[in-house]
Structure 1
Amino acid sequence: MRPPIAALVVLLLVVAALTVIGLGGVHAERVPQAVLNGEQQIAADTAQSVRTAIDVEASTVRRTANAYPATSASTPTTALQALTSARKAVLGKALLDPRTGKLLAAGGRPVPLAGVDVVQAASGHGAVPPRLVTSGGTRQLLYFARVTLPALQEDANQDQFQAPSRPDRQWLLVVCETLPALTTYGDGRSAEVLDARGTALATTSDGAASPAVTDSGLPAAAARAANGSGRDTDASGSMLGAATGSRRTVAGWAQVASATGPGDTDNLGLVVLTSRAVPTTTAAADYSRFALEAAGALAGLALLLGLVLHFFVQRPLLRLYLSAGRLARGATEDGPGAFEELFRPVPVHGFGELARIGRALESLRLQLLGESGPQELPARRGPGYRALAVVGVVVVACWAVPMIFMLNRADTATAVPVPVLADQQARTQVAANRIRQSLDQSYTDLSDVAAGLPGRSRAAQTEVLRHTLADHKQYRSLYLLDRSGGITLRVGDTPLRTLVHVPDGGGITTVNTSGRIPAIAAYAQVRAVKGKAPAAGVVLFGEIDVKALNSVLPRPKLGSVWVTNDENKVLAASVGYRAFQSLPDSGLTRLARATQGAPGAAGTATSAALRTSSGASVDAAAPLAQSGPTARLGWHVVTAEPAAALQIPAVQAEQRTMLAGILGLTLGAACLGWLHVVVIRPLRAVAVLVERLAGGDRRTVLHPVNHDEVGSVTRSLELMRQALAERDRAARSGHTARPSRSLREQTLQR
């Protein structure tokens, strides 16, 4: 009986203390933590874009080198020209002998190889990672790739190469390029790529020049923080910069390094720094007083419930337990002292079940004394202890329900700071740009493949498509269409297309309008070559695996991400979805429609704070592309981050208020339910049995179920039943008898 009551009081006091601690720690800062976190994530997204661009460029250089059809007649000059002729961003290029580092051929600007140990770099068996070098006072990237060709023996007297005389050997291709271009979003935001010393290698800004650019201490601080976290991770962080009037600079930094294992960017030591001046918060928000008032009210309720249960349940039950034991001793033990126990009346305490049991015990006492016979007790009236438990739950609910549903409710329209909305919009634009780059790269790769198909035999074309499918994991199927739309050559999985048509030109499209999986495909024309065998088809299609596209979407603290078509139907998502379904909330659909521009225009990004069925969220939508092969599709990227995941004071106060209410109601109901199970329900059963016993039922054996106060009362009642039954038998036989000691011992053991 005591543990449920003590637990109820203690746990409610703990909830009161947690309410003070939780709500008392919510304060409105000059720059909300959510703004700092948002800038950190923008820096991380920008760093990922830079990392992806470098990785793609490095893999493209290697793939081109691996696909080069070297022969014994190939010379360094012709090979270098063939390997780099299609690359417009190349500043300088060179072919080197990896064994000696000797320059075999060069083109464009001189390749800055000073400080690069070519022999050591090419000595390993894996891919040679890019290097960051200085040329003409600017920092540039060197990409390396091995070119395998038949062994060539150089004639000492002639500047030519003759037939092979040794096993295959390699050349080392070196391509020099500038750093990938930075793209920033958000008016007034600047972005910089820093080296390990904090020197800016590339800078860009969106909109008006930001005061953050003049905060010269931020780059050095970002470089120190990045160096302190190691060079082979994708660590990120945020900082506060200088204040100018009512605005303060917020900066985020992130390493350009792989988080999943060794990568091409790990040893470059590059750091991305983004910064923006945001208005500071002047409105104070302090929930300490509310926390104290709410905690005081709950503490008062806890003590009140504890006192009520102590005086109306615990004390009456203990007195009843003592009275039942006293009567059992008087009924079963010998001696004048034991018999005198029967002369003391049984006090009736409490109400409900305890009062019923007390009245029945008094009747049994009189029957044991022989002063009265069995008597029918009146039917119970009025509420019992179950009603008391229900009232206790209602009392706790009177405190908890307002905490859950009414108090400290955040106004979605004003609780989310404007910079947080701007950050969500900027991150959505970054996500759209990342998806666009992925789709554009798929189209570019497919166009390169389509350009190499004319003039080849069917078997050679099949081999090219197989190599392409193996090298480009984003494709699930590659196939050629003839002029009637029929598939003439296919590698990979069965196509998902339901639309049979032969489009002109090239780009990105969807080739189905229903089904379980959206079929997004890149396509390019296969040009006929005069004088050569015709191609097996006129259009090359590459269906993009939607799983590969879905894997590009998730980003930390961005929430759910959806890619929708021009009818706002979902094509890809970072969360579970059905193909071509609508967005999960009508507010998101309206937000996506708000980004749509005039006919033929791409539209503009937008953001808003919405309250949906799942709670408040910070949402944004952006067109997928302003230009390129995906611009005419009219697709959008929509994101929704729950406001509960952001460190916004008003939202935090709402969350913690609701949590306190839920905890108080749950623990209060659990403890009172525990009391009902172990005390109230057994008391109801004992009340029925003792009233039957007082009414003359001597055959029903009373078995104690629990080893507690109620169980002790039940054992005492069983002893009294046996004594009364033995007396009745003796009366029928004309003798007066009392229960034997052996019978009493058997009862106690049972």
Structure 2
Amino acid sequence: MRPPIASLVALLLVVAALTMISLNGIHAGRVPQAVSDGEQQIAADTALSMRTTIDAEARTVRRTASDYPATSTSTPATAFKGLTSARKAILGGVLLDARTGKLLAAGGRTVQLAGVNVVKTASGHGAIPPRLVTSGGTRQLLYFARLTLPAQQEDANQDQNQVLTQRRWLLVVSEALPGPAVYGDGRTAQLLDANGTALATAAHGTASPAAADSGLPSAATRAAKESARDTDASGSLLGAATGSKRTVAGWAQVASTTGPGDTDGLGLVVLTHRAVPATTAAVDYSGFALQAAGALAVLALLLGLALHFLLQQPLLRLYLSAGRLARGATEDGPTAWEELSRPVPVHGFGELARIGRALESLRRQLLGESGPQEFPARRGPGYRALAVVGVLVVVCWTVPMIFMLNRADTATAVPAPVLAVQQTRTEIASNRIRQSLDQLYTDLSDVTASLPGTSRAAQAKVLRHVLSDHKQFRSLYLLDRSGGITLRVGDTPLRTIVHVPDGGGITTVNTSGRIPAIAAYAQVPAAKGKAPAAGVVLFGEIDVKALNSILPRPKLGSVWVTDGDDKVLAASVGYRAFQSLPDSGLSRLARATQGAPGTAGTPVSRVLHTSSGPSVDAAAPLAQSGPTAHLGWHVVTAEPAAALQIPAVQAEQRTMLAGILSLTLGAACLGWLYVVVIRPLRSVAVLVERLAGGDRRTVLHPVNHDEVGSVTRSLELMRQALAERDRTARSGHAAGPSPSLRQTTLQR
């Protein structure tokens, strides 16, 4: 009996303490923590986009070198021209002998190779990462690629049987350092080197790069150096305050510290900053926390005292009385009379009062003073009502906590800068997806140049090579003019729309099924000297899993890619192909991005109220240019406000959690008390009244090894004594508890 009551009081006091601690832990500076965290994530997203751009360019240079159709008669000049002529981004390049470092060919601007050990660099294994160099006062990136050519017999008199070694060249091209893409009005983005020097700066809208806090770059690079190496390093900083605004900044390393990449050794850091309005209203929940915790502590103590005096003490007295009567019924002599001579006090109410009255009747029956006694069937309120009242008392505290107190206003709880952060991050996500799709389209277009005029086996070899290099493609196939597939490698195509489009780009090739089929396509040019192969198109179906994998980002929430009809094509969470967005408000948000006819549209953001609370949502067009611009696709994001560190939302969440926790624990403890004490008491009350009413045949089996079980065992001993007395009376002996007890009674 004691554990449920003690647990109820202790657990409610623990909830009161947690309520005090959690609500006191809500702090709000002049810049909300959610804004600082959002700026950190914007910097991390921008760094990821830059890392993706550099990695993609490095892979392109290496792939161009590996796909170059070199022969034993290829010269350095022709090879260099073939490798660089189609690359508009290249500022300059050189072709070097990998064994000696000798210059073989050069073009464009001078390539700064000071500090580069050509022989050592070319002799290693694996991909050669880009390097950051200074050329002409500007910082540039050097990309490297190895080129292996068939052996060439240089001397006509050379022995034909002599083994010739392959020629190995090293291609080095210099390109401009890509600048950081910046989104969000008033935001500035900077690309810093390891010393904190700004290599590139971009601003959007009304941002003024010159007005930035001069100490932020050095602080960002210093924090990047001190950061842990087991995670992608990023963080937030607070800059100078100007009037009612303060600069909030985020930084992130361009290098990935969670895995090898082409940007690991560059030491680049992205810094983004923006002036946001500083809040002046103080946020203090300490007074509410003290009142709520104090009220719950008082309720817990009152409940504990009520259960102690109304249930625990009466039951203990009843337990002692039942044991005394059992000893009197089983012993002989003066001791037995002494145990039975004292009346049974009736304590409490309900079941305990009923049991006490029945025990008193049994005592008198054991003394021979009375016979069986009937008890009224109508009962008053029992201890089950006490448990219900206890639950209601807890409910009186929990219901206001769950449904009424500290309610966050959906319209004002989320600060405007937090909405702007969600919108900006949605734009960055859209740009990242566009980059991925554009790169796949570009790579597919490059492949088509090697297909005309070759045999079917050669084309299949090329497509298999592309499929092995691009894990994003699940299937590659060539269409003839009628739309039939003439050559396929990879998985079975998912397409259900049979069409032969003109030009090239990104499209969908099905409108139903379990998996959306997004494909890149490009026209195959005609071979020289032959009629144009109009309608011959190369399709590459993109694995939707590869697209889904680039959508999740920390603290961005759920991300969906939708088509022009707001049907889901890809998502960071589970979904069915071509299903609608999970909330109608998200669909309206996606449609709100559409501008005037013929325009690409603009991103929007809102706070939507859902069943789980306010949600910070945004939508942006997938692309405003490139092969995906004509599709009308959107990127939609939704982040629950409860996941952001917004004081009003935190207070609501923790207040509700305290109410739910106290209701759950209180109901559980009172339910435990009902199961182990109150319900057994109700059964014992019925049995003892039957026994006092003359039922001597029903054997009383103790079920619990506690106070109620002890009372049941005592009742069974009394039943046996009364049954023995009844058998003795029927066989002609005088009635009484025992001869010695009757003799002792007469003497007294």
Task: Give the TM-score category using the shorter length.
Answer: over 0.9
Q: SS at 2:123's partner residue?
A: coil
Q: Deviations over 1:356-400 (max 9, x none)?
A: 100110110010000111121111422111111011111101110
Superposed counterparts of 1:539-554, under 5 Å:
539-554=537-552
Is the Cα contact below 8 Å between 1:256 and 1:272 reproduced in 2?
yes
The aligned amino acid for 2:405 is L
> Per the alignment, in what secondary structure is the counterpart of residue 134 of structure 2?
strand
Determine the C-alpha separation between the residues in 2 that align with 1:450 and 1:126. 27
Residue 370 of structure 1, aligned match among 364, 368, 371:
368
Deviation, 1:145, is 0.9
Deviation at 1:612, TM superposition (A): 1.1
List aligned pairs for 1:236-247, cutoff 5 A.
236-247=234-245
SS in 1 for 2:440: helix
Q: Deviation at 1:536?
A: 10
Q: Which amino acid aligns with 1:75?
A: T
Aligned CA distance change for structure 1 residues 675 and 232 (closer, same or farther; 3 Å) = closer
- Which residue identity lines up with residue 452 of structure 1 in the other structure? S
Q: Is the 8 A contact 2:232 2:258 kept in 1?
A: no
The aligned counterpart of 2:111 is 111
Matched, 1:421 2:409: no
Report what 1:206 is aligned to.
204
Of 578, 595, 603, the match for 2:593: 595
* SS in structure 1 at match of 2:54: helix
Deviation, structure 1 residue 436: 0.6
CA deviations on 1:161-205 (whole Å, 9 max, x unpaired) are x99952323111111111123211011111111111111111111
Q: Determine the C-alpha separation between the residues in 1 that align with 2:229 and 2:360.
A: 85
Alignment pair present for 1:228 and 2:234:
no
For each residue in 1:465-510, what CA deviation from the matched residue of structure 2 results, as whole angstroms up to 9, or x when unmatched? 1111111111111111111111111111111111111111111111
Aligned to 2:286: 288
Residue number in structure 2 paired with 1:389 = 387
Give the match for residue 673 of structure 1: 671
Stretch moving more, 646-655 or 83-92: 83-92
Where does 1:311-460 land on structure 2 (aligned, <5 Å)? 311-460=309-458
Match of 2:50 in 1: 50
Distance in 2 (CA, whole Å) between partners of 1:403 and 1:164 is: 90
d(CA) in 2 for partners of 1:380, 1:163 = 118
Higher mean displacement: 467-476 or 33-42? 467-476
Tell which deviates more after alignment, 237-246 or 162-171: 162-171
Q: Provide closer, same or farther for how the CA distance between residues 729 and 90 of structure 1 changes in structure 2, counting only shifts above 3 A.
A: same
- Say if 1:726 and 1:738, in contact at 8 Å, map to a contact too: no
Contact 1:152/1:165, CA 8 A, preserved across alignment? no
Deviation digits for residues 417-440 of structure 1 (CA, Å, limit 9, x no counterpart): 111000000000000000111111
* 8 A Cα contact 2:257 2:264, kept in partner: no
CA distance in 2, matches of 1:435, 1:726: 91
Q: State the AA in 1 paired with 2:59.
A: S
Tell me by how many angstroms 1:335 deviates: 2.5
Show the 5 A alignment for 1:527-566. 527-532=525-530, 538-566=536-564
Determine the C-alpha separation between the residues in 1 that align with 2:694 and 2:735.
18
Report the 3-state secondary structure (helix = DSSP H, G, I; strand = E; otherwise coil) of the residue aligned with 2:412. helix
Residue equivalent to 1:521: 519
3-state DSSP of counterpart to 1:204: strand
Map of 1:40 onto structure 2:
40
| Structure 2 length-normalised TM | 0.96
Q: Which residue of 2 aligns with 1:744?
A: none
Moved more, 669-678 or 612-621: 612-621
Letter aligned with residue 31 of structure 2: V
Partners of 2:229 and 2:257 within 8 A in 1 = no
Aligned-residue CA RMSD (Å):
1.9
Task: Confirm or deny that 1:26 pairs with 2:26.
Answer: yes
1:171 corresponding residue in structure 2: 169
Q: Provide closer, same or farther for how the CA distance between residues 211 and 119 of structure 1 changes in structure 2, counting only shifts above 3 A.
A: closer
Q: Does 1:504 align with 2:512?
A: no
SS at match of 1:414: coil
Tell me which amino acid in the other structure corresponds to 1:125.
H
Note closer, same or farther for the CA distance 1:132–1:156 as it changes in structure 2 (3 Å cut).
farther
Moved over 6 A (4+): 737-740
CA distance in 2, matches of 1:369, 1:378: 23
Contact persistence 1:489–1:536 (CA under 8 A): no
User: Of the candidates 707, 710, 719, which is equivalent to residue 712 of structure 1?
Assistant: 710
Q: Report SS of the residue matched to 2:105.
A: strand
CA contact (8 A) 1:210 1:276 kept: no
Q: Specify the alignment match of 1:135 in structure 2.
A: 135
Distance in 2 of aligned mates of 1:737 and 1:81: 127
Distance 1:645 1:651 in 2: 9
Unaligned runs of 5+ in 2: 739-748
Matched, 1:630 2:622: no
Identify the residue that residue 748 of structure 1 maps to in structure 2: none
Residue identity opposite 1:667 in structure 2? L
Mean CA deviation greater in 131-140 or 37-46: 131-140
Name the counterpart of 2:743. Answer: none
Q: CA deviation at 1:131?
A: 0.9
Runs (5+) with no aligned partner, structure 1: 741-750
Q: Secondary structure of the residue that 1:226 maps to in structure 2?
A: helix
CA distance in 2, matches of 1:575, 1:607: 20
Q: Give TM-score scaled by structure 1 length.
A: 0.96
The code of the aligned residue for 1:629 comes to P
The aligned counterpart of 1:682 is 680
Indicate how the Cα distance of structure 1 residues 720 and 212 shifts in structure 2: closer, same or farther if over 3 A, else same: farther
Q: Determine if contact 1:496/1:512 at 8 Å carries over to the other structure.
A: yes
Give, in whole Å, the separation in 2 of the partners of 1:163 and 1:302.
99
